[in-house]
Amino acid sequence: MTSDLTNVPNIGPATARALIAAGVPDEAYLREMGADAAYRALLSNGERPHFIGYYVLHMGLQGRPWNDCRGDEKIALRERFDALVKDVRGTVLSGIEAELDAIGLPRGK
């Protein structure tokens, strides 16, 4: 399936495939639903929570580079991410999961 999701800054082929599998078929649909709803769809489809992936999606929809997220904005997005993960999974990341997530390393299933 082809999609224009990779036209969104910071979204590569792997993320586009994950979004399509989660029911987000194209850029227009992604922009309409927004980053939070799209990330919720990813989590609901079995994607593991990863804060960097969450804020990269936000930055991309704003047309900003992924590493532009800093300071108070990053803190606020982290709070939203934690709330979203808790809502979908029933728990927030803690312990080693939280530490690995904070430095961008994948965790085991």
> What would the pLDDT profile of 15-40 be if each residue is shown by its tens digit?
999 999 999 999 999 999 999 999 99
Percent helix / strand / coil, the chain, rounded to 5? 65, 0, 35
Do 67 and 58 contact (CB within 8 A), yes or no? no
**Residue 65 domain-assigned (yes or no):** yes
Give one DSSP letter per residue of 34-65, joined into a string. Answer: HHHHHHHHHHHTTPPP-HHHHHHHHHHHTT--
Question: What would the pLDDT profile of 36-51 be if each residue is shown by its tens digit?
Answer: 999 999 999 999 899 9
**Residue 109 domain-assigned (yes or no):** no
Question: What would the pLDDT profile of 71-97 be if each residue is shown by its tens digit?
Answer: 999 999 999 999 999 899 876 555 556
Look at the chain and report how many structural domains it folds into: 1
**Residue 28 domain-assigned (yes or no):** yes
Angle between helices 13-21 and 27-44 (to 10 degrees): 70
Range of the domain at 31: 5-102
Residues 6+ apart with CB under 8 A from 77: 51, 54, 55, 58, 69
**Residue 107 domain-assigned (yes or no):** no
- How far the first Cα of the chain sits from its last, in Å, is 28
Do 39 and 15 contact (CB within 8 A), yes or no? no
Per-residue confidence (pLDDT) for residue 75, from 0 to 100 = 93
CATH (domain of 75):
1.10.150.20
